[in-house]
Amino acid sequence: MSYLSWSNLVVGYPNKKSLTNPFSGEITFPGIYAIVGQNGCGKSTLLKTWLGLIKPLKGSVLFHDAPIPTAHNISQGIAYVPQFHAVNRYFHISVCDFIKQGKGPHYHFTQNDHQEIINLLSEWQLSGYENRSFHELSGGQKTRAMIVRAIISKPKMLFLDEPLASLDVCCQQQLMDTLEELAQEHKVCIFIVDHHLENFKSYITKKISFTRKHDQEISTVVL
């Protein structure tokens, strides 16, 4: 069974030029897949298309051989860490409640769940911030809270959009070690868009590369 597959996929925005040539691919084993390419080529757009947040201009995406769940049921095995500034800065919710959203709206929290959150807050240096408003956090703290929210959701697939950019060197290392553990021990399939992966080449299972000629706006994507 494949984790994710796509066929003749073209990504982009309605009434705009396509960002990619049609491309097909399949991910059949867990690992850390790095999506790389120059600024503005469409990496984040591809991530959002895979997540079902943007419709493909052409082609299809399958998640576990079925259509990708919509944005409304995205907690079903799929976690997303967007760029921290993409999260509404007027988002008035406590850090703790924000993290708990990772379990979905109807989840009944046990004592063990609360303990897991306390441990993760401590691991990610967010202890003492749990009752603060999410929008008051710094960029790096927001990213760390989103990572904790993703971890508690116990995802089968995890998508991260430039998480390293807002993290200090220590937290970058912590994140990559965590991703490696999720991929190897929990068989999570991880997709990461980032310009800071040079120091973490050994962690990457495979690259998904956008390339385009300097005089063209459309990319060819190779897995």
Residues at the site binding ligand ATP, with contacts judged by CB under 6 A = 13, 16, 19, 37, 39-45
Distance between CA atoms of 205 and 200, rounded to whole angstroms? 11
Tokens (6 digits) for 36: 């790389």
Distance between CA atoms of 112 and 196, rounded to whole angstroms? 35
Whole-number minimum distance, CB 44 to ligand ATP, in Å? 3
Which is closer to ligand ATP, CB of 30 or CB of 37? Answer: 37
Q: What is the DSSP string of 20-79?
A: B--EEEEE-S-EEEEEE-STTSSHHHHHHHHTTSS--SEEEEEETTEEPP-GGGTTTTEE
Which is closer to ligand ATP, CB of 37 or CB of 102? Answer: 37
Whole-number minimum distance, CB 139 to ligand ATP, in Å? 15
Let me know: does 159 contact 78? Beta carbons within 8 Å. Answer: yes
Q: At what angle do helices 139-152 and 169-185 cross, to 10 degrees?
A: 10
Whole-number minimum distance, CB 143 to ligand ATP, in Å? 15
Which is closer to ligand ATP, CB of 133 or CB of 209? Answer: 209
Whole-number minimum distance, CB 170 to ligand ATP, in Å? 24
Which is closer to ligand ATP, CB of 189 or CB of 192? Answer: 192
- Between strands 23-27 and 189-193, the pairing is unpaired
Which is closer to ligand ATP, CB of 43 or CB of 142? Answer: 43
Sheet containing strand 58-63, edge to edge, reads 23-27, 4-10, 58-63, 66-67
Whole-number minimum distance, CB 209 to ligand ATP, in Å? 12
Which is closer to ligand ATP, CB of 39 or CB of 110? Answer: 39
Distance between CA atoms of 63 and 69, rounded to whole angstroms? 8
Cα angle 199, 202, 207; round to 5: 90
Whole-number minimum distance, CB 199 to ligand ATP, in Å? 18
